[in-house]
Structure 1
Amino acid sequence: MSAPAREAIATRLLGGSVKRSYSPVVDLDWDAPLEEGKYFLPPRVCSLYGTDLWNGLSEEQRIEVSRQEMANILSIGIWFENLLNRALLQRLMTEDPASASSHYALTEMGDECRHMVMFGRAIERSGARPYGMSLPERIIMLLLPFGLRGTLLWVAALVGEEIFDALQREMLDDPELQPLVSRLMRIHVTEEARHIGFARDGVVRRRPIRGRWESMIAANVHGLSALRFKYLFTNPAMYARAGLDRNEATKAARSNPNFHRMQVLGFSSLGKFLDDNGLMSRFARSQWRRAGFLE
C-alpha cells in the first residue's frame, strides 16, 4: 500500500470528523411527539408496497408495517456496526497506534458506537421492539471478526454500509417520513460517507499488492451474504408484529417487483465498485442476482 497516501486520506477524514460529527443524544429531539399520519419508512421503500396485500391495508396498518420494518432495519444496523467495530479493533492490534489511519479507525468506531445508541433509541421511541439474532447468527457474528483481514475487511464494511446508505439517500427528505427518522438518516448518511470513503480507499490501495488467494476470497465470500440480506430485509417476524399473516406477507414481499427495484437501487453503486476492482466473481454475481440485487 502507498502508506503516505493512505495517511493523507485518513488525515483528511479526521478533519471532516472534527467539522461534521454528531452526538445523537443531544442532536435529535427525543422528547418531540411523533407526528400523526407520518410513516417510519417512506411507503415506496416498504417491502410490501405495491402488492395486493399492501393495497388492502388501511393507512394505520401501513404505518405499522413501516414502523416494524424500520425497527428491523435498525436492528440489523446495530448488529453490523457491532461486527465492524470488533473487526477494526482486532486489526488495530497489529497497526501503528500513532498513525493517522489508526486514529481514523478509532474515530470511526466512536461514530459507530453513537449510531448504535441512536438506532436503539429510535426503535424505543417509535414504540417498536428490536429484532434479535438467532443462535446460529450470533455464533457467526461472534466468529467473523477473526476472519476479516485485508481486502475482505473493507469489502465486508462496504457490503454492510453501502446498501443501507443508498436506500437512506432515497428517503432523506420524504414528506411522509417522521421528522425524527428523517433527522436520524441525515446524521447517519453524513457520517457513513466518511466510513465508505475510508473502506473504498482501503480496497483500491490493496489492489496492487493483494495476492491471488486474498483476491479470490474477497471476490467470492461477499456473495454468501446475498440471500441472507434478502431474508433479513423480509424478516417474517416484522409482518407478524404488524398484525399480518407472516407467511402470506413474506411470500408477497419476496416476489414483489417494487422490493426488487429497491434492492437493485441499493446495490448498484457497490456492485459497480466491486466489479471495477476485480472483486465480483462469477459465483458472487450469481448469488447477488439470485437474491434480487442484480438485474
Structure 2
Amino acid sequence: MNRTVARAERKVEDESRRLLDSAAALSYDPATEVDWDAELPPEHYGFNPEWSTLYGTPLWQEMTEAQRVLLTRHEVASVMSTGIWFEMILQQMVLRDQYMRDYASAEFQFALTEIADECRHSIMFARACQKMGIRSYAPRRSTVELARLFKTVGSAEVAYGGILVAETVLDLMQRDAMSAENVLDLVRTTSRIHVVEESRHMRFARQEVMDRTRNAGRLRRRASALSIAVVSYFIITSMVSPEVYAAAGLDPERALAEARLNEHYKAKMRTSAAGLMDFLARCGLVTRPAAAVYQRIHML
C-alpha cells in the first residue's frame, strides 16, 4: 500500500471516528422527542409555503388559505414518502458496500449507525404522515422498478452521491420549516431531528465520494457522473406526486401545468443544490451529459 492510499484511508477513518463521537453525543429518539399527541392547528402549513410547487403562480393567488394549507400538507407528506422510499434503497446499497468490510473500523461502524438513523427517520416520517391523516405517496411504477435495478448494480460513489442529492435538497427545505412559526410543530420538530442527524450523513457521504473517485479512471468517472445525475432526476421528479393537487381540491391538469412553469420553485431548487453542484464538480462528477440532466431538473 503506497503512502497516498494509506493517508487517504486514515483520513476516512479519522472522519468516521469524529462522526461516531458526534452520533453518541447528539442523536434523537423521535418516539419521545416528537409530541405525537399534540393537536394540529388548522391554520398551520405543512412546510414553509414558499417551498410549495404552486407558490407565486396565478393558481396560488386564486386558492383559498385553507387550500394552500392543505396543499402544503400533502406536498410535505409526498416529500416524506419519497424520502422513505429512497432511504430504503440507500440502506440496501450501503449494506452491500459494507459487506465483509473490516468490522473493527470506524468507517464500517458509522455506516451501520447511519442505517440505524435512517430506519428511525423512516418510521418518524411514516408516523408524521399518519398523524396528518395523509396516505403515503409513491413514485411512478416505472421509477419503482428502475430503482430495483439501481440498488442492485449501483457503484459505491453512486450510492453515496445519491445520499448527497436527496439530503441536500431536503436540508434547505427543512431548515426553512424549522424557523417558520406558521408551520406545524410536528413538521418543525421532525425537520430539526432530520437536519441535525443528516448533517453527519452528508459529511460521511462526501468523504466516501471523494475516497471512491480519487483514483477512478476516466470511463468510470464519466459513468458515475451520469448515473448520479439520472438518480437525481428520479429523486427530484418523484418528490411531489401529481396526486397532491386533486387531494387539495384543485384541477390536477392546470395545477401540474403551472407547477412545471413555476420559476420561483425552480430558483429555490437551484439555490438548494448550489453547494452540492460545486462539490460534485470538484470531484469530476459534473460532465456535459450529467449537467444536461441537472439543468432539466433545475439543479443547475
TM-score band (shorter)? over 0.9
Question: Which residue number corresponds to residue 142 of structure 1?
Answer: 148
When residues 13 and 227 of structure 1 are mapped into structure 2, their CA distance, relative to the original with a 3 A threshold, is: closer
Displacement, 1:229?
Answer: 4.0
Is residue 60 of structure 2 the alignment partner of residue 54 of structure 1?
yes
Q: How far apart in 2 are the matches of 1:259 and 1:86?
A: 31
Is residue 132 of structure 2 the alignment partner of residue 94 of structure 1?
no
Is residue 279 of structure 2 the alignment partner of residue 273 of structure 1?
yes
Q: How far apart in 2 are the matches of 1:100 and 1:198?
A: 11
* Residue 110 (structure 2) aligned to one of 104, 121, 129: 104
Alignment of 1:127-206 (within 5 A): 127-206=133-212
What per-residue deviation string (whole Å, max 9, x for no partner) do you get for residues 222-244 of structure 1?
A: 22245434432442111111111
Q: How far apart in 1 are the matches of 2:14 and 2:200?
A: 14
Deviates more, 1:143-152 or 1:103-112: 143-152
Q: How far apart in 2 are the matches of 1:91 and 1:233?
A: 26
State whether residues 167 and 265 of structure 1, in contact with CA within 8 Å, keep that contact through their aligned partners in structure 2. no
When residues 214 and 82 of structure 1 are mapped into structure 2, their CA distance, relative to the original with a 3 A threshold, is: same
Q: How far apart in 2 are the matches of 1:191 and 1:230?
A: 21
Question: Which residue number corresponds to residue 35 of structure 2?
Answer: 29
TM-score (ref. length: structure 1): 0.95
State whether residues 79 and 239 of structure 2, in contact with CA within 8 Å, keep that contact through their aligned partners in structure 1. yes
Q: How far apart in 2 are the matches of 1:202 and 1:228?
A: 22
State whether residues 151 and 214 of structure 1, in contact with CA within 8 Å, keep that contact through their aligned partners in structure 2. no
Is residue 264 of structure 2 the alignment partner of residue 255 of structure 1?
no
Deviates more, 1:223-232 or 1:87-96: 223-232
Is residue 51 of structure 2 the alignment partner of residue 45 of structure 1?
yes
Structure 1 stretches of 5 or more lacking a match? none
Letter in 1 for 2:137: Y
Q: How far apart in 1 are the matches of 2:261 and 2:114?
A: 37
Question: Which residue number corresponds to residue 293 of structure 2?
Answer: 287
Q: How far apart in 2 are the matches of 1:27 and 1:65?
A: 26
Question: Which residue number corresponds to residue 11 of structure 2?
Answer: 5
Q: How far apart in 1 are the matches of 2:20 and 2:203?
A: 12
When residues 201 and 227 of structure 1 are mapped into structure 2, their CA distance, relative to the original with a 3 A threshold, is: closer
Displacement, 1:143?
Answer: 2.3
What per-residue deviation string (whole Å, max 9, x for no partner) do you get for residues 89-109 of structure 1?
A: 111213112211110000000
Q: How many residues are paired up?
A: 294
CA-based RMSD of the aligned residues comes to: 1.5
Displacement, 1:171?
Answer: 2.5
For residue 105 of structure 1, give the secondary structure of its aligned residue in structure 2.
helix
State whether residues 177 and 187 of structure 2, in contact with CA within 8 Å, keep that contact through their aligned partners in structure 1. no
What per-residue deviation string (whole Å, max 9, x for no partner) do you get for residues 211-264 of structure 1?
A: 223211111112224543443244211111111111110010110111111111
Q: How far apart in 1 are the matches of 2:55 and 2:221?
A: 39
